[in-house]
Chains A and B, each alone.
Chain A
Amino acid sequence: MAANAHAHHHKESFVSKYIFSQDHKMISKQFMLTAVFMGIVALMLSVFFRLQLGWDGESFAILNTFLGDRWAPEGVLDRNAYLALVTIHGTIMVFFVLTGGLSGTFSNLLIPLQIGARDMASGFLNMLSYWMFFVSSVIMISSLFIETGAASGGWTIYPPLSALPQAMPGSGMGMTLWLISMVLFIASSLLGSLNYIVTVINLRTKGMKMTRLPLTIWAFLVTAILGVLSFPVLVSAVVLLLMDRGMGTAFYLSDIYIGGEALDVTGGSPVLYEHLFWFLGHPEVYIVLLPALGISSEVISTNSRKPIFGYRAMIGSILAIGFLSFIVWGHHMFISGMSPFLGSVFVFTTLLIAIPSAVKAFNYITTLWKGNIRFTPAMLFSIGLVSTFVTGGLTGIILADSALDIQVHDTYFVVGHFHIVMGMSAIFGMFAGIYHWFPKMFGRMMNTKLGYAHFWLTIVSGYGVFFPMHFTGLAGSPRRYYSYSEFPFLDWVVELNTVISIFAIIGAVAQALFLFNMFYSIFRGQRAPENPWQSNTLEWTTPVKHVHGNWIGDLPEVHRWPYDYSNPDYDTDFVPQTVPLKPGEEGH
């Protein structure tokens, strides 16, 4: 007791409590609010370009209101602005919302709480991680306001397009800011990831063996390892690109004649950039997805009142997915001019990922089977996550097949595929996490009814937006096109595009329900009890009102795995991890 006395008698200033906080719970909230803000921005950007795609060339006052006369003269979106919107939408969603937001929020909140630690291994690095994320967010947003426009080469920013300011307006100052923002973002992500790994390895409480960790923690751990191993490669790719832009080097450039001038630089290769980028880019997909899968494992088990099926197989599949994700990057490059033999190796490794993914999907379904399912909003989003994970994963089989990829590469088929897995699955994981752990974060409950409305509107509009894209893609409509009116064979795509845009607007407006619910509940929500979902994991043994060091008194001791729901040996349908085993009871 005495050892922790400082924890709750310590008086903190406003700045050290709310701004430069080193407490993981506060940092987690900072990450969440920043990510939610970035998410709103990116969502609005997508509505803007969906207006253009749905109603080609028509005038919308709202575009002019938000983008001004330069980017939307007379309410019609400018072509360069369109590309900038697409690029920044993708960048923010992938990195700032789904990487920074998802890992930043939930790894920070849950790692110490679920493993029984007082805080992260290094509170200071954790704080630094958030503030780098914040600064990089500010730079990314500010790049939207510069005169030549934000980066517009697509979120993958392939050079030479991104390397040469002559190639497009967005490759000027906007691109430089994008690159600087990304370097800071990666630094933030690395600091965070190192911290998560060290904390999980070293700071588990007594009895918390690796095989008693909740699946959330396993997912966060593997995610952090992926980040540490792959993000540095993106840093080098980005720094080399900065040098090509500013210092006359030629890592990615060769034989270029542009703007009426033959460039001096020769000897580089744009394909090198693609390799470096996708060496991060593919693990990145799982950096985004694994935390969401971890969250849904926890939520589905708790609300089915049933242990997660195949706990060890789930860990195994997380590890397998994590490992395989490093040797599949080439499937983004089948038609880049890469050796066809190398292509076939990547086909093989990529399709292997389907096996652990299938195991996960079927394990979720078996967990639901004969459960006693309670429909909290978090549970709805988790079920939605499994559905989208399966639907989006299946189309991946086509994209992984190099022979088929020739036809659908860079078409809307790809857009549909990765939005269903990242834009829906991973985002659903984030929503599930927020609904489920909101009581832990803010000590209040979110409104359930609004949560229901939010979920049903979101899944309907989400599928309404992304499912038809497979069909427009199979018909050969390329992504990142400002307009589809230049090709007669794509005429029928136009009507489908209008439908997609209508769903996109409904989906975007539906998010207002969530925002309102969240901000309202932070201040006015019903006060939360200590363990609202009758859950087994350690975070629900901490007091509702946050204290420094998480537990008043000694750290809890763990005696069993986290999924003892509806154990026939007990009367209650849940047995927290802190309950000792009965004499003769075998743990799992």
Chain B
Amino acid sequence: MLKLLIVLVVILGIIAIAQLAKVYELSAKMRNKREEEISHADNKLNAVLMIVFMLAFYAGVIYLMIEYGNYLPPAASEHGAAMDQLMTINLWIIIAVFFIVNTLLFYFPFKYYYRKDRKAKFFPHDNRLELVWTVIPSIVLAFLIIYGLKTWSDITGKASEDTIQVEIYAKQFDWTARYPGENGAFGAANFNVISTLNPLGLITDKTINEKVAELEEQIETLEKRLQSEEMLLLPESQVEALEDRKYRLIRHKQRVFDLETYEIDGINAWEAGMDDKITKGEFHLPVGREVEMIFRSRDVIHSAYLPHLRAQMNAVPGVPTRFKVTPTITTDSMRQITENPDFDYVLLCNKICGSAHFNMQIKLVIETEEEYQKWLDEQETFKAAIGAGDEEEETEQQNEESVDPEMNGEANENQTGESEMAASNETADSEE
């Protein structure tokens, strides 16, 4: 019924316009009006509309600036404050140019609309004027470029020695945070050992064994199925797909075997992850300390966006990325500033990543260093999470402190890279 109504309205609308056009056409014919001759009345009407539109447009823009200009609470990070200042200067320059140029643009057509008795000024070029509007924008831009690049190099510069590291791990459609634990080193991770219990793919003897067992079980189930009579009924393509899957699993298992360990400042990389702390749903950062966030993704590109901290960085599968930030306002203080007792910082996904992209978030709590330490201490270690006991080992590792974070990361990357290459060579061989 509704559809019918819509169709009817559309048809009636078209008929109405057609009739109007016909009337217009007839009257134009009677008045001997030509479409290409713009009447004085029409010129004047549009000239006035130029000014009317300009004023209405400006009113709208000013309304938006007043009503929605304070778009976000003050930046909650050190670099964010500098960035906001840069933004403000840029915005004022832009807004000034916007008003000047648009005013000229709408005013001239209003002032110089067509009159029969006038002739336009023949003014084909003027090098002095051209020079003016080449040089002035150049100077303004030079200022903006230098100022902008200075801010940029401050933001992207090297993290300091005593920075706190936290890994933000992305997958469809949630975030996980990982802290390096008491030994200060992130344990090795590899996508080949990812499992339900080990979503970040941390490598330890236990996770490797479990992964291998899991793969072997899958391979066995598949082999059984492939030998069963069920296969006779399946179309050939499906049988082939199952066989492909079996070989993929075999190659996967081989890649897990090929993983090799290495040392991070005297700590075995496969042990280093035992005291890592992994949190979901929310993560905490201390106020006033520099934090280096390291981003990894397991499936597609995500982007970790912290609008209140003015921070953003893509999380790219296979390419770890970094962003350093120094939080300056705790969650509690921000609740007072915004007069909103429910305010929470949030890290959200800002790179299209699939159907639930619009709700991929993790809460961030910024608090004092003591509160942060307390919270961190309460978190379960990876060892406890995967249920690998033996308390003695853990105490041994506690003495190891302050490892060079840069070295860590690099060693980590190199290692995964190498082991994968070895794995793919191996698979190539086994296929032959």
Contact = CB atoms under 8 A, between A and B. Distances in A.
A147 to B, nearest CB: 16
Interface of B: 2-3, 6, 13-14, 17-18, 21, 24-25, 28, 34-36, 38, 42-43, 45-47, 49-50, 53, 56-57, 60-61, 64, 68-69, 71-72, 83, 86-87, 90-91, 93-94, 97-98, 101-102, 104-106, 108-109, 112-115, 118-126, 129-130, 133-134, 137-138, 141, 144-145, 148-149, 151-153, 155-156, 171-172, 190-192, 194, 201, 248, 251-252, 255, 298-301, 303, 305, 307-308, 310-314, 316-319, 321, 342-344, 346, 348-359, 361, 416, 420-421, 423-424, 427
B38 A567 contact: no
B102 A482 contact: no
B125 A313 contact: yes
A449 B23 CA distance: 13
Nearest to B152: A403
A342 B129 CA distance: 35
A396 to B, nearest CB: 10
Contact of B149 (A154, A158, A306, A344): A344
A566 B18 CA distance: 39
Given A255-B317, A375-B38, A526-B35, 4 more contacts: A161-B354, A348-B149, A410-B305, A449-B24
A271 interface: yes
A394 B98 contact: yes
Nearest to B110: A373
Nearest to B20: A450
B90 A398 contact: yes
A398 B352 contact: no
Given A80-B355, A270-B318, A376-B38, A335 B303 contact: yes
A79 B299 contact: no
Contacts of B130: 310, 313, 359, 363
Contacts of A568: 122
Contacts of A158: 300-301, 351-352
Top 7 closest A-B pairs, CB basis? A476-B307, A254-B318, A340-B156, A445-B35, A532-B36, A375-B46, A475-B71
A366 B108 CA distance: 9
A410 B352 CA distance: 9
A393 B303 CA distance: 26
Most chain B CB neighbours (cut-off 10 Å) among A167, A404, A409, A487: A404
A269 interface: yes
Interface of A: 61-62, 65, 79-80, 83, 153-154, 158-161, 164, 167-169, 253-258, 261-262, 264, 266-271, 304-313, 335-337, 340, 343-344, 347-348, 351-352, 354-355, 358-359, 361-366, 368-376, 380, 383, 386-387, 390-391, 394-395, 397-398, 401-404, 406-407, 409-411, 439, 445-450, 452, 456, 459-460, 463-464, 467-468, 471-472, 474-476, 478, 480-484, 486-489, 492, 496, 512-513, 516, 520, 524-526, 528-529, 532-533, 563, 565-568, 573, 588
Given A154-B352, A488-B342, A489-B346, A164 B300 contact: yes
Contacts of A471: 64, 68-69, 71
B82 to A, nearest CB: 8
A64 B381 CA distance: 50
20 contacts: A61-B6, A154-B352, A158-B300, A159-B300, A264-B251, A310-B125, A310-B130, A364-B105, A365-B104, A368-B109, A373-B114, A387-B106, A402-B152, A404-B83, A404-B90, A445-B35, A480-B358, A524-B21, A563-B124, A567-B122
Contact of B113 (A267, A313, A375, A487): A375
B6 to A, nearest CB: 7
A267 B427 CA distance: 14
B282 to A, nearest CB: 15
A355 B131 CA distance: 11
Contacts of B252: 261-262, 264
A255 B318 contact: yes
Contact of A340 (B101, B134, B141, B153): B153
Contacts of B144: 351, 397, 401
